[in-house]
């Protein structure tokens, strides 16, 4: 095989690997869509997170609560705030444990820079 063909083959392999990695990085985790839905829509008859908080991934521009993109909370911090309330934010006692976990995972993931 000539040096030129080796360079072309090497370049093609590199491009394929880079494309595959970029695609894997762009994929959202399985909890992203239902977490976003819960963040934006909440549960019927109750307030939702997007009314108060800014979270770019969710497209929310809430004017009251902290900007979650700037805060970048981890799952445990979100879980505690949702369960117990914090400052002017009330506890969201109507959410199930599974919903709180979903919301905490989503906010922690969505608030991190990409």
Residue 7 pLDDT: 58
Residue 14 pLDDT: 56
**Is the model more confident about 16 or about 27?**
27
**Is the model more confident about 51 or about 8?**
51
Q: Tell me the average pLDDT across 91-114.
A: 96
Residue 113 pLDDT: 87
Question: Which of 42, 56, 61, 59 has the alpha carbon at shortest distance from 112?
Answer: 56
Q: Tell me the average pLDDT across 40-69.
A: 96
**Is the model more confident about 9 or about 34?**
34
Q: Tell me the average pLDDT across 20-46.
A: 85
């Amino acid at each position: 095989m000539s040096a030129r063909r080796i360079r072309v083959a090497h370049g093609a392999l590199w491009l394929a690997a880079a494309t595959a990695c970029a695609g894997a990085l762009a994929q959202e985790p399985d909890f992203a869509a239902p977490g976003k839905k819960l963040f934006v829509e909440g549960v019927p008859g109750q307030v939702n997170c997007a009314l108060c908080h800014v979270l770019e991934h969710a497209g929310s521009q809430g004017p009251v609560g902290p900007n979650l993109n700037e805060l970048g909370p981890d799952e445990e911090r979100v879980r505690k705030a949702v369960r117990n309330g914090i400052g002017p934010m009330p506890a969201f006692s109507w959410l199930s444990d599974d919903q709180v976990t979903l919301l905490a995972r989503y906010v922690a993931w969505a608030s991190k820079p990409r």
